[in-house]
A and B are shown apart, each in its own frame.
Chain A
Amino acid sequence: MKKALAILLIVPLIALAGCSQTLQLLSGGINNPITPSRALALHAAFDGGVVVAAGRYSALPRCPAANPCSSQAVVNKLRTYVNGAEATLDKVDQWAAGNTSIDIQSIYQAAIIAVTEAQSFGRDNGLKFTDAFK
């Protein structure tokens, strides 16, 4: 189970690691100026790096019916982390689209925390992340 999740997560992260700016986006946090393009790039990196893998993993049959399989417990946690992070990133999108009533500093910080939580969840399950999420 862990092997399947590890492969599904590591492959997109290796691909994303090729985008050098992505590393800065994910590790730079809120210390750098937040621009709409930078905010959207963070969202795209999260969707491409985590959501794709989470979706593919969840589409596997639940264990132990098949091999490879997905753990129901892991899928449940992925739903919590990924959907929560996406809701925050959607607010970042609204700011990027011109909604100036959004406090982008706090929302962006919340987005970074949400992405970090997803990373921690992966580590808790014995996953090794590439530089994209370090």
Chain B
Amino acid sequence: MPFMLRVIRKARWFEDGNIKWLPKGEPQADALIDLSTKDNSLSLFYVTDDKSNINRIAAAYAANRQKISNLDYLLFDEGILDSVSLSAVTTLGDTPDIVVNTNWHRDVQNLSASKILDLARILLARGQKDRITHNVITTELRKSIAGGNIDRTQIKLSLEEVNKIAKPIEGNDPVAGELHD
């Protein structure tokens, strides 16, 4: 079964019974920040069964930031949406990678506040939280740029960060020179 991915901050989803004030099985209130909606829609990314497109999604998402950073995400079975009577529709994403935008971006629409809370609870119980480090993100950005996946003109990274991507391959890779243009 394919998956859905939502970018989060893992610390907002800590539980483990080691946060003394937090009832077991309850998400922190701050977790809802990670499920914030626009026009009552929640933006997600579709991840294939073999998860082979995660790194490309991560690179596309990272290119929309100013700093190369870690990317924390919550991954869950697509079927979880059904279990809370929700469904995702394909919509256009806004990353610099057209494939990510057109093929893998989804919206869960018409969400009520209680549905978001239902979703938070079930994602805490059944979702998989993970982190892609900034070193891996750097590598994936470099690959996505070199492979032409990312539209260089749409990158929002600062020049300093672009230089970091370019630096290790300067002199033997066309990406470096073009990034500086």
Are A and B co-members of a single complex?
A: no
> Residues of A at under 8 Å CB distance from B?
none
> Residues of B at under 8 Å CB distance from A?
none
